[in-house]
Amino acid sequence: MSESKLPNDIDRVVGENIHRQRRKLKLTQEKLGELLGLTFQQVQKYEKGVNRVSAGRLFEIADVLDVPVAFFFEGAEKAAARAAAEFAAAAEDAPLAILSDETLQLIEAFQKIEDVALRRSLLAAVQAAAAAFETRLYPDRGKDV
């Protein structure tokens, strides 16, 4: 699963708010699932923030739970602020690399290759090319001078 599709802190906030409203209305996960045409396991995954809730599904849930869609995002600002603070702290610990468009294209194409052996082979080829280029540019590197 790509990283962008993985649940994040805001998905967990949405799930917690679904859970809170469902409990307030005294609905079971089974009943909410039935009203939405879902299994209780799917409702459970939404509530725990394990699975992301699509925009269309969130609209349906809001209708069934009789709240505006915005209700589910209450507390999201705090989660986003926490995530931003964690990102800033991590950025201080590691140098921020600016990747060229070409590098990003290479990474994107490389990640689409499912064959592990082929990926390793391509990586070895790129590393060998880089090492050969570096040796040509800096012939004294690695030698005792």
Domain ranges of the chain: 3-91, 101-137
pLDDT at residue 1 above 70? no
Alpha-carbon gap, residue 10 to 72, rounded angstroms: 10
Q: In this predicted model, what pLDDT tens digit does every residue of 32-66 receive, in sequence order?
A: 999 999 999 999 999 999 999 999 999 999 999 99
The predicted model scores a pTM of 0.56
Reported CATH class of domain 3-91: mainly alpha
pLDDT at residue 97 above 80? no
Helix (H, G, I), strand (E, B) or coil at 76: helix
Alpha-carbon gap, residue 62 to 71, rounded angstroms: 8
Alpha-carbon gap, residue 83 to 100, rounded angstroms: 25
The pLDDT mean for the chain works out to: 85
Most trustworthy range by pLDDT among 27-41, 93-107, 120-134: 27-41
